Amino acid sequence: MSRQGRPAGERAKTTPHSRPEARDIRAQGGGRDRDNGANGKDRAGHRAPGRRSDGGRTSDRESGPRSASPRAAGDLSDQRGSGHRAASRRPASGPSARGGAPNAHASAEEVRPGERIVVTIKRLGINGEGVGYYRRKAVFVGGALTGEVVRASVSEVRPTYIKAELDEIEKRSSQRAEPPCPVYGTCGGCQLQHLSYEGQLEAKTELVREALRRYTGLDELPVRPTLGMAQPWDYRNKAQLQLERQGGTLLAGLYETGSHAVVDIGDCPIQHPQVNAAAARIKDVLQQLRIPVQGERGARTGQDVVKTVVVRHGLRSDELQVTLVASGERLPQREALVRRLREALPQAVGIALNVQPRSTPLVFGERTVTLWGAETMRESLGELSFTLSPRAFFQLNPQQTVRLYEEVRAAAGLIGHELVVDAYSGTGTIALWLAPHAREVRGIETIPEAVRDAQAAAAGNGLTSASFHVGAAEELLPRWTREGVRPDVIVADPPRTGLDARFLEAVLQTRPRRFVYVSCNPSTLAKDCKELLDGGYRIASVQPVDMFPQTSHVEVVIGMQRKDT
């Protein structure tokens, strides 16, 4: 099937769960466009408690529905954002189900779950849901698009918002497209396949603009159009699939939105074809050997179970790395398993077993055992080369990563004599990208293993001007300043919860000439920018980058400069 979206019909995707008793209420009145939500991100070298979160800060004035999808952690968080369903799971309603003439309430507080309302969608929310208003109260409708008039069934009423499920589209957006993925709307991975790619880029630009306007109070903002991809499919270099066996059949995929049920994924349209092919072959081997998976009783006989399959493909190196995440090392038929995987995947350079004995959202455990082959794989970004262990962080969309990092370099305004501090450096990819263009780059990271990876990458690429330090930026920055080391530029790419308050205070005390903020959460980004604006900075540039097409996620690079320079 072609990856390109096709025009959709007038009605939403359906499953047989009708509510013919629901009443129909037409939205009257409007409200101010405000919303909030949460999407996920995995940025630093290795996941650690407190470094990333599934939740984000919400608006002080209006709180929207947060994501409630229980996803696996690690790369699933940036790979598979959650939130509202991408397409309705309810049937389109016929005239007999609409309950006759609209029933107009005097107040939105009178609306109850089960009632049907007609809403005009004003914009898309941060989770990809349609946002409209009923009597000045925000209404979030999953699967609805900007400009559409939709009939939706109220599922939840909160003090500041209403959640509703899409039943029927009365006025259809010209940018609505037919999703190519057969499990779209059930799988929690994508939120925007039903929107043309041009429409996705426009929506992400407006999402960033609106968040900044709402929190900073500025109407004139230098927001540039979102940088998209020429081919917005097949871009992901890594798959992280949960396992489950149902009726003797092995499922490998992602969690269904709002549950822990595994949705079997075959040809995922946003993953690289070689990743899809490798995942399918691994699944076949596990099925043929009857290797016990999560939820089965293999442990009763002293055997461990496989929980997750992780496949990483080097787009530049063409190498393949396979990691099985298991409850322990006592897998049945272990030698046969390795032999069959090698036969099925001749391009694999290494097969590893990661031990995660705990029941936790964190996918990886602390210990990794090499079952066969190399302990690492090779990959590169631009002119930089990296060796990646199974748990090492590496950007999931290398093509767009190069564009993102070039935007960071441009916002930093480097001419070769600056001291740059990368305050949330992870495995050092941003710091190393900037190192050839600055006098010195110092990376700060709280996770020692990530710092070791960054140091090894710096040595491997001959970048002697880059150094990496274990610690918290809010502690190291003041210390360096007291020692007479004052950075010209500070770069921050924090977890999606935003900048630590103590770090913001340290930045304002350090007074770098430029501050470059890289974020995947427009709401927390905008809140932090307000603090920096009040502290003497101005916004010089805002560049959204579409790192994950077909999802609601958007990355933003903001360049800020001191007002007195």
Which one is predicted more confidently, 255 or 466? 466
Residue 8 has pLDDT above 50, yes or no: no
- Show the beta-strand stretches assigned E in 276-418: 306-313, 320-326, 348-355, 367-373, 377-381, 384-388
How would residue 483 be classed by pLDDT, with cut points 50, 70 and 90? Answer: very high
Which one is predicted more confidently, 136 or 237? 237
pLDDT at 188: 84
Q: Which residues are bridge partners to 117 per DSSP?
A: 25, 152
What is the average pLDDT score of the chain? 84
Crossing angle of helices 334-344/273-288, nearest 10°? 150
pLDDT at 295: 77
Characterize the bridge pairing of strands 440-445 and 419-422.
parallel
Distance of alpha carbon 81 from the chain centroid:
5
Continuous segment of H or E residues that includes residue 534: helix 522-534
Are 44 and 447 contacting, i.e. CB atoms less than 8 angstroms apart? Answer: yes
Average pLDDT for residues 248-264, to the nearest whole number? Answer: 90
Give the pLDDT confidence of 57-85 residue by residue, as tens digits.
333 334 455 443 333 333 333 333 333 34
Give 538: exposed, middle or buried? Use CB within 10 Å, 0-12, 13-18, 19+: middle
How would residue 53 be classed by pLDDT, with cut points 50, 70 and 90? Answer: very low
Q: Which residues contact 375 (CB under 8 A, 6 or more apart)?
A: 350, 352, 389
How would residue 361 be classed by pLDDT, with cut points 50, 70 and 90? Answer: confident
pLDDT at 301: 57
Active site residue 520: yes
For the chain, what is the total number of helices (H) and then of strands (E)? Answer: 10, 24
Q: Which residues are bridge partners to 387 per DSSP?
A: 378
**238-384 maps to CATH 2.40.50.1070:** yes
Characterize the bridge pairing of strands 348-355 and 367-373.
antiparallel
* Tally of residues, the chain: 565
Are 275 and 237 contacting, i.e. CB atoms less than 8 angstroms apart? Answer: yes
3-state SS of 147-190?
CCEEEEEEEEECCCEEEEEEEEEEECCCCEEECCCCCECCECCC
Largest Cα span, the chain: 77
Residue boundaries of the structural domains of the chain = 6-195, 238-384, 397-562
Give the pLDDT confidence of 102-142 residue by residue, as tens digits.
445 556 667 788 888 899 999 999 999 999 998 888 999 99
pLDDT at 393: 87
Asked if 238-384 and 397-562 have one fold, the answer is no
What CA–CA distance (Å, rounded) separates 440 from 485? 11
How would residue 360 be classed by pLDDT, with cut points 50, 70 and 90? Answer: confident
What CA–CA distance (Å, rounded) separates 38 from 47? 18
Residue 407 has pLDDT above 70, yes or no: yes
pLDDT at 507: 97
How would residue 297 be classed by pLDDT, with cut points 50, 70 and 90? Answer: low
What CA–CA distance (Å, rounded) separates 252 from 242? 6
pLDDT at 427: 92
pLDDT at 177: 97
For 6-195, CATH gives 2.40.50.140
Catalytic choice (181, 268, 520, 529): 520
How would residue 143 be classed by pLDDT, with cut points 50, 70 and 90? Answer: very high
Residue 152 has pLDDT above 60, yes or no: yes
What CA–CA distance (Å, rounded) separates 149 from 173? 9
Question: Phi, psi at residue 468, to the nearest 5°?
Answer: -130, 140
**Annotated binding site: which residue ranges?**
395, 424, 445, 493
What CA–CA distance (Å, rounded) separates 70 from 513? 42
Residue 448 has pLDDT above 50, yes or no: yes
Among the residue ranges 222-226, 449-453, 553-557, the one predicted with the least confidence is 449-453
**397-562 maps to CATH 3.40.50.150:** yes
What is the arrangement of strands in the sheet containing 320-326, beginning at the earlier edge strand? 262-264, 249-255, 238-246, 306-313, 320-326, 348-355, 367-373
Crossing angle of helices 501-510/473-482, nearest 10°? 20
Residues 124-147 as b or e (16 or more Cβ within 10 Å = b): bbbbbbbbbbbbebbbbbbbbbbb
Distance of alpha carbon 462 from the chain centroid:
32
pLDDT at 341: 98
